């Protein structure tokens, strides 16, 4: 196993953990955390590819990650705000309950 694939594998592990969390957890905040985790797993991929890619001097991977972090931050801000807003309505952050209340 070479270096690149080990990074990719790690990224896959993190992605799956994040995914499982997003699927299993019922607390909306924790689901958001899971999504954040998945995003970061993807970032790791970019960095790894940049590092072991053909044109590291182009910095594309790095730039992508930087922008990705920016987007993730915006996502976190809005996502958490929405959760708080939802909480305001349903008095809970439990997704099942929110669904139930809605339905």
Q: Which of residues 17-76 bind another protein (CB under 8 A)?
A: 17-21, 23-27, 29-30, 32-34, 36-37, 40, 43-44, 47-48, 50-57, 59, 62-63, 65-67, 69-76
- Please give the size of the binding site for another protein, defined by CB under 8 A: 75
Nearer to another protein, 57 or 103 (CB): 57
- The residue from 42, 78, 98, 99 that contacts another protein (CB under 8 A) is 78
The burial of 100, by beta-carbon neighbours within 10 Å (0-12 exposed, 13-18 middle, 19 or more buried), is given as exposed
Nearest to 50 by CA among 62, 40, 41: 62
CB of 101 to another protein, least distance (A): 14
Nearest to 33 by CA among 65, 75, 68: 75
Instruction: Give the separation between CA 92 and CA 88, rounded to whole angstroms.
Output: 8
CB of 46 to another protein, least distance (A): 9
């Amino acid at each position: 196993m070479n270096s690149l694939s080990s990074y990719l594998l790690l990224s896959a592990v993190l992605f799956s953990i994040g995914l499982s969390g997003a699927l299993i957890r019922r607390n909306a905040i924790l689901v958001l955390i899971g999504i954040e985790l998945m995003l970061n797993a993807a970032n790791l991929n970019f960095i790894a590819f940049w590092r072991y890619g053909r044109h590291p001097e182009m910095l594309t991977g790095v730039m992508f990650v930087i922008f990705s972090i920016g987007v993730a931050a915006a996502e976190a801000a809005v996502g958490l705000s929405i959760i708080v807003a939802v909480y305001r309505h349903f008095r809970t952050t439990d997704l099942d309950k929110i669904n139930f209340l809605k339905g």
